[in-house]
């Protein structure tokens, strides 16, 4: 049993903390939102009145927050209250620069740290089947691995500080670009009189095969569980895809990498969001490419 503090009990953090409780750990949580605190309390998380109360005398602190600025703010505060040697893990999706900055804060405080963003969405968080992409020292990884195991089914140590965030944004750039390509292919097939099923049957077993097609098909029919069969209810919200594509663009520009397809995908998702579709599943972009996604609301 490990004494854990969990900061950020939202859509992802709430169920992740609940899985740590189920695995037998003592979890104290804090969130600014009363609704999130109440929901977490129902799953067995002890609720603290502040970050400082939550993290005192814990062996590990996990944060699951919206963006880099929140993580910098929260780590700066919590590192003033933890004992040296505490392991601090951030599982939010944030920019690589901020991730490396907070690893530096932890180092200065004599703490071990990991960046450990996830893929698998809210369904994976609830089921405990997330994939964790982890950056940090071998020592920090071996201390934290069993805790990540309680929340996920695949844990990959990607390298040193920031490597987890780097893996996350590279993966999601592939996802964003491949989804645009799959959507475009279905729109072209429709114009050419080719059925959805025929394109799927060919491309899913040919060189066009990819996850966006075979697991998350953006038209209803071929993959019954994909959000296209449920009026594009998320799933993975278009606004979160845009967030990840913007993080990839920020990293590309800071590192001098050339990513023209990632830039194009970011522009398309930005337009989709501006038209009011940010809360829909990201595969709904096909409706914009057909000219159907007029301004929402
Ligand atoms: P969310 O908005 O539901 O949860 C974030 C929580 O952080 C909120 O409850 C908020 O009140 C809390 N918070 C913000 N500032 C705080 C502070 N200073 N102190 C305490 N609590 C604070 O977001 P989410 O969907 O849970 O996503 C969390 C992270 O996970 C994001 O970085 C997101 O990009 C990433 N992510 C989300 C998904 C998904 O499908 N939702 C999938 C993969 C990764």
CA of 7 to the centre of ligand 1 (A): 10
Tell me if 5 CB under 6 Å of ligand 1: no
pLDDT value at 293 more than 70: no
Pair 106, 98: CB distance under 8 Å: no
CA nearest ligand 1 atom 20, residue: 31
Ligand 1 atom having least distance to the Cα of 122:
40
For 206, the token pair is: 């040919």
CA of 55 to the centre of ligand 1 (A): 18
CA of 159 to the centre of ligand 1 (A): 24
pLDDT value at 145 more than 70: yes
What Cα–Cα distance (Å) separates residue 106 from each residue in 85, 97, 99, 140, 153? Answer: 9, 15, 11, 11, 27
- Just list the catalytic residues: 168
Q: Calculate mean pLDDT across residues 223-227.
A: 96
pLDDT value at 130 more than 70: yes
Q: Can you give the pLDDT at residue 244?
A: 97
Strand partners, 266: none
Average pLDDT of the chain to the nearest whole number: 97
Ligand 1 atom having least distance to the Cα of 36:
9
CA of 11 to the centre of ligand 1 (A): 7
Neighbours of 254 (CB within 10 A): 11
Tell me if 264 CB under 6 Å of ligand 1: no
Tracing tokens 């895809």 back to the chain, one arrives at 241
Q: Which residues contact 290 (CB under 8 A, 6 or more apart)?
A: 187, 190
CA of 63 to the centre of ligand 1 (A): 9
Q: How many CA atoms lie within 13 A of 63 on its CB side?
A: 31
Tell me if 2 CB under 6 Å of ligand 1: no
Share of the chain above pLDDT 70, in %: 98
Pair 176, 166: CB distance under 8 Å: no
pLDDT digits (tens, 9 = 90+) for 260-289: 999 999 999 999 999 999 999 999 999 999
Query: Which strand (E) or helix (H) includes residue 4?
Result: strand 3-7
Strand partners, 60: 4, 87
CA nearest ligand 1 atom 14, residue: 65
pLDDT value at 294 more than 80: no
* Burial group, residue 116, by CB count within 10 angstroms (0-12, 13-18, 19+): buried
- Among 67, 62, 96, 64, which Cα is nearest to 82's? 62
Q: Can you give the pLDDT at residue 171?
A: 96
Query: Which strand (E) or helix (H) includes residue 202?
Result: helix 196-203
CA nearest ligand 1 atom 29, residue: 92
Q: Can you give the pLDDT at residue 297?
A: 59
CA nearest ligand 1 atom 21, residue: 31
Secondary structure (DSSP) of 70-139: HHHHHHHHHTTTSPTT-EEEE-S---HHHHHHHHHHHHHTT-EEEE--EESHHHHHHHT-EEEEEES-HH
pLDDT digits (tens, 9 = 90+) for 108-120: 999 999 999 999 8
CA nearest ligand 1 atom 17, residue: 32
The pairing of beta strand 118-119 with beta strand 112-115: unpaired
CA of 242 to the centre of ligand 1 (A): 15
CA nearest ligand 1 atom 12, residue: 8
pLDDT digits (tens, 9 = 90+) for 51-109: 999 999 999 999 999 999 999 999 999 999 999 999 999 999 999 999 999 999 999 99
pLDDT value at 121 more than 90: no
Please give the Cα distance from 203 to 208 (Å, whole number).
5
Ligand 1 atom having least distance to the Cα of 30:
20
For the chain, domain boundaries: 3-160, 166-289
Please give the Cα distance from 140 to 113 (Å, whole number).
6
For 85, the token pair is: 């040697």
Please give the Cα distance from 132 to 120 (Å, whole number).
9
Strand partners, 47: 29
Instruction: Look up the CATH number of domain 166-289.
Output: 1.10.1040.10
Tell me if 70 CB under 6 Å of ligand 1: yes
Neighbours of 137 (CB within 10 A): 16
pTM for this prediction: 0.94
- What's the CATH architecture for 3-160? 3-Layer(aba) Sandwich (3.40)
For 95, the token pair is: 């920019």
Ligand 1 atom having least distance to the Cα of 93:
32
Please give the Cα distance from 270 to 240 (Å, whole number).
11
Share of the chain above pLDDT 90, in %: 96
Pair 59, 87: CB distance under 8 Å: yes
């Amino acid at each position: 049993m490990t004494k854990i503090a969990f900061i950020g009990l939202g859509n992802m953090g709430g169920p992740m903390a609940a899985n740590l409780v189920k695995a037998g750990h003592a979890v104290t949580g804090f969130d600014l939102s009363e609704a999130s605190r109440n929901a977490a309390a129902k799953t067995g998380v002890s609720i603290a009145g502040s970050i400082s109360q939550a993290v005192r005398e814990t062996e590990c602190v996990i944060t699951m927050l919206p963006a880099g600025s929140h993580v910098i703010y929260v780590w700066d505060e919590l590192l003033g209250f933890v004992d040296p040697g505490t392991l601090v893990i951030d599982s939010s999706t944030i920019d690589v620069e901020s991730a490396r900055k907070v690893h530096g804060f932890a180092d200065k405080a004599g703490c071990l740290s990991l960046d450990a963003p996830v893929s698998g969405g809210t369904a994976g968080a609830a089921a405990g089947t997330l994939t964790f992409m982890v950056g940090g020292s071998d020592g920090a990884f071996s201390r934290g691995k069993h805790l990540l195991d309680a929340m996920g089914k695949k844990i990959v140590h990607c390298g040193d500080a920031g490597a987890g965030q780097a893996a996350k944004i590279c993966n999601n750039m592939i996802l964003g670009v491949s989804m645009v390509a799959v959507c475009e292919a279905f729109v072209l097939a429709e114009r050419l009189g080719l059925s959805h099923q025929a394109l799927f049957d060919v491309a899913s077993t040919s060189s066009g095969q990819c996850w966006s097609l075979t697991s998350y098909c953006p038209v209803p029919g071929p993959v019954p569980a994909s959000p296209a069969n449920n009026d594009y209810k998320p799933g993975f919200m278009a606004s979160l895809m845009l967030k990840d594509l913007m993080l990839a663009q920020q990293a590309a520009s800071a590192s001098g990498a050339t990513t023209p397809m990632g830039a194009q995908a970011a522009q398309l998702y930005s337009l989709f969001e501006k038209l009011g579709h940010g809360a829909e599943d990201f595969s709904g972009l096909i409706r914009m490419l057909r000219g159907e996604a007029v301004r929402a609301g």
